[in-house]
Every structure is written in structure tokens, then in C-alpha cells.
Amino acid sequence: MATQSLLLFSCSFLLIFLSFSFEKSHALEGRKNMESHFHTLQLTSLLPSSSCNPTTKGKRGGASMEVVNSHGPCSKLNQEGAKASSMTEILAHDQARVDSIQARVTTQNYDLFRKKDKISNKNRAKDSKVNLPVQPGISIGTGNYIVTIGIGTPKKDLSLIFDTGSDLTWTQCQPCVKSCYAQLQPFFDPSSSSTYSNISCTSTACSGLKSATGNNPGCSSSNCIYGIQYGDSSFSLGFFAKDKLTLTPTDVFDGFMFGCGQNNRGLFGKTAGLIGLARDPLSIVSQTAAKFEKYFSYCLPTRRGTNGHLTFGNKNGAKSTIQFTPFTLSQGTSFYFVDVLGISVGGKALSISPMLFKNAGTIIDSGTVITRLPSTAYNNLRSTFQQFMTRYPRAPNLSLLDTCYNLSNYTSISIPKISFNFNGNTNVNLDPNGILLTNGVSQVCLAFAGNGDDDSIGIFGNVQQQTLEIVYDVAGEKLGFGYGGCS
């Protein structure tokens, strides 16, 4: 009897012990899994830094230039007493840029696919409400990244906004004829460059302006005149010209075609103009194709006071860790379209059909700040993200960002990882700075926005691109992603 009860006792003990260890190992496994689906980080790593700590310039193949965030501590434009734009202003301008991109794609689709009725009635109605310029341009926005190149002989250094969403490179020139904005560096003076020449109205380069700018060129005493306007009513107008372009001491191009602007107005900060990196034959990518074979890469730095790079060419070959996704048809525009298949939040794939993203397509753009998603995708992302963040107190909306938290009581936080799945089995895990945008610790917001419908194109914006190595193999028709591109 005693033996029997002892046996029974041992058995139930064993059972309890077994089930305990089973639960324990299960819980551990669960926690390990959860940890890998979360970023645990210091809140300060999301806040702008007030000092510039440039990363040491690693050896990169090709012609490599430093990239700085125009609002960051490494920007000279920011140091010279320029009034910093508030986050609300930046986001308002960002919406202007997105509206102009979507209008341009819709207009193109309308012309290209009129019979197929590619665009929905909803979009058309929206279009007629937007007060478009005759040829919609791209809004310049204010969340810009700056790169410095040299033009002329002797070479003059010019810090320009770099823009993968437009084509023509231009700078403000002397003499300013109507209005010019204040820039940090001296205006480029064509008469002091021995290699400068005007382009004639009858040249094929001049007629190429139509596709590069959306406007027919003008002609003034047989000199070709360009005009380009951006969706936020910024513009540049002047002589279409040629001069020597110097990227690095060993990467020099004679006869680079650019706009020598004599009448310029808009949101260009204190930069000297803009460098156009889209697909048109007049973009810098096409004009340097003989040497760099339409291959460039960049890393956009965070606001932590580090710098990034813009590199032309592929001297050392792409790192084996870069994952590629094919570019898709550019819908008659010069934008870079990619195929988004899905998004994961905290290791959980959102239940959205890949057809949702195919509907309108997605572009990658260096000039749009916040990633825009079809409404259905955004709503799904937002509610999943919120479920993982319930422990944190909410804060008011910040302009177009509607999922904000007051983290003023926290020094360390844990947030779900967010990854994008692109065609070609390419998964891109975003940096924490690509998930949350801070407007101080008391307003830390999910850095995504919805389009308001499911038919407008999605945009993979520059906040989400931060710290990634992004490779544009335009000739190979593919886009690559890698990690730690700024270090």
C-alpha cells in the first residue's frame, strides 16, 4: 500500500515535473522568438544629435561622395543660422511631394492607358480637384539629402539636393535675372569657367528637355532655354548648358548637360540646386553611363550626426549580402518602380493580398520622407503595430502621422520589427529609425501613412531607407538592399 502510494506520488511528481519543463522550454522558445521579432533600444538612438560625428569614409568602389541630411548636424546649410523647419512643416511639404508624384503617374497612366481605363473614377475625380500645373512636376519637399559635386574649370563645389524622383540637374547661375533664393555657396558664374558652353536650340539635347522636364524648351538668340517646375510651385528657369563635371579627382566628365538657372524660386533650402538621378536620358545616371554603366548606390544617414554616401559605379562588384528585387515597368515615367509583395510586423505577415500593391505599383524615392501605402495595407500595419505597443501611452497625431506615443517616462523601449518583402525573395528589415519618427520624446510616431485609397501608387520613402545600402542597377533592371550602408 505504502509502495503503491509512493509510486503514485512519484508518478504524479514526474508528470508535474515533465509538464513544468515542457512549459518552461516552450516559454523560452517563445520568448527567444519574440526577442528576434523586436528591437530593444535606447530612446536616444531615435533622437536627432546636435553634434556631427561623421563615420570614417570606408573604401567603396566607384566615385563616392558624402551625403548629409540637410536638417542634420553635419549639414553646413543647417549650421549657418538657417531656421530649422519644424517636423510639421516637413510633413506638410512631404504631402505636397506625394500629391505631385501621384498626379504625374496618374496623368501618364491616363494618356497611356486611356482605352484600358487603368485609373479608377475615384482617382480621376481626385485629379480634377488637384490644382495641377499644365505639366505636373515633382514637389521638392524639405526632407532632403545633400551631395557636393564640382562644375566648371576651375571647378566650383556645389551642394545639391539629390533626387531619384527627377531628371534634370541644375544650379543657380549668375547673373540672376528675375529672382533667386539665398544659397550658402557663391552662385556658379559661367563666364569664369573656361569649359562652359551654351547648348543650341537646334540640338537633339535641347529637344530632350521635353521628357526630362515635362516642358518644351524655349529659345533665346539660338540658345536653348529650360524650365522645370515642381509640384509645390518651386521652379528653375535658365540656359541649358554644358560644362565639365567633377565627381572625384579621377571621375571627371566633359560636356555634362545641366541647367544654368537665372530665375529660381522655391523650397531648395540653402542648396545650390538639384541633381536628378531618375531614368531619363538627361539624368546624371544616363549622362555618366559610359563610365558607370547606370549603376549607383547610396546610404541615407539618420539624424544622429553621421554621414552617408552616394557612389557611382560598381568597381568592386556588389557585396554578396545585397539582396536584389527586379524593377518593374515604369508606367511611362522615369520613376523607379518595384514590386512590394507584403509587410511583416513583429514577425507576423500582415494578411493583405499581394495584388493590393500590384494595383497601382510602388516607387522608391529619395525625396519623399514618409512611406505611403494603399489604405488597406496601412490600416492593417497600423492596427498590428498598435497591438504590440499597448503598454505605451498614446500622444496626439503629428500631421499625417496618426499613431504616436508619449515616451517621456521611458529611456529604453521595445518595438516590433517591420520588414518589407519585395519580389525576388528580398526581405528588408527596417532600422528602428525607419519605424518611428520622433518629434521629441513626448511624440514618437509610427513613420508610415496611408494613401486614402487603394489605387494611388505607394512610395518607399527616405525615412524607411535610412542606414540601408541601396543599389540601383539600372542597366540590370534591379534594385538591391543591404544593411549598414552608412558605416
Ligand X SMILES: *[C@@H]1O[C@H](CO)[C@@H](O)[C@H](O)[C@H]1NC(C)=O
363-365-367 Cα angle (round to 5)? 150
The rounded distance, in Å, linking the Cα atoms of 476 and 312 is: 15
198, three cell numbers: 551654351
- Strand-pairing partners, residue 480, are 324, 471
Q: Which is nearer to ligand X, 66 or 453 (CB)?
A: 453
Q: Which is nearer to ligand X, 292 or 392 (CB)?
A: 392
Least gap, CB of 187 to ligand X (angstroms): 15
Least gap, CB of 329 to ligand X (angstroms): 32
Least gap, CB of 439 to ligand X (angstroms): 9
Least gap, CB of 468 to ligand X (angstroms): 28
Contact 142, 269 (CB under 8 A): yes
Q: Is the peptide bond before 416 cis (omega within 30 degrees of 0)?
A: no
Helix 87-112 and helix 121-129, axial crossing angle in degrees, nearest 10: 120
- Residues at the site binding ligand X, with contacts judged by CB under 6 A: 196-198, 221, 223, 239, 393, 395-397, 402, 406, 408-409, 442-443
Q: Considering only CA atoms, which of 427, 151, 485 is closest in space to residue 302?
A: 485
Pairing label, strands 295-299, 469-473? antiparallel
Residue type, 335: F
Q: Name the E strands within 164-250.
A: 170-172, 197-198, 218-220, 223-229, 235-248
CA torsion through residues 208, 240, 69, 452, sign: negative
Q: Which is nearer to ligand X, 406 or 429 (CB)?
A: 406
Least gap, CB of 153 to ligand X (angstroms): 12
How many Cα atoms within 13 Å fall on the side-chain side of residue 415?
A: 28
Q: Which is nearer to ligand X, 195 or 216 (CB)?
A: 195
Least gap, CB of 345 to ligand X (angstroms): 18
The rounded distance, in Å, linking the Cα atoms of 288 and 246 is: 11
81, three cell numbers: 543660422
Phi, psi of 79 (to 5 degrees): -75, -30
Residue nearest to ligand X (CB): 402
The rounded distance, in Å, linking the Cα atoms of 380 and 349 is: 10
Least gap, CB of 91 to ligand X (angstroms): 13
The rounded distance, in Å, linking the Cα atoms of 77 and 335 is: 28
469, three cell numbers: 545600402
Contact 103, 134 (CB under 8 A): no
Q: Which is nearer to ligand X, 116 or 391 (CB)?
A: 391
Q: Considering only CA atoms, which of 77, 239, 50 is closest in space to residue 145?
A: 77
Output the CA–CA distances (angstroms, integers) from residue 327 to 112, 312, 364, 462, in the order listed.
19, 19, 10, 18
Q: Which is nearer to ligand X, 366 or 443 (CB)?
A: 443
Q: Which is nearer to ligand X, 30 or 393 (CB)?
A: 393
Least gap, CB of 487 to ligand X (angstroms): 33
44, three cell numbers: 536616444
Q: Which is nearer to ligand X, 145 or 405 (CB)?
A: 405
Q: Which is nearer to ligand X, 363 or 395 (CB)?
A: 395
Least gap, CB of 197 to ligand X (angstroms): 5
Kindly state the helix (H) or strand (E) to which residue 76 belongs, with its residue range.
helix 76-79
Output the CA–CA distances (angstroms, integers) from residue 222 to 76, 188, 252, 318, 442, in the order listed.
39, 22, 28, 45, 59
Residues with a catalytic annotation lie at 163, 365
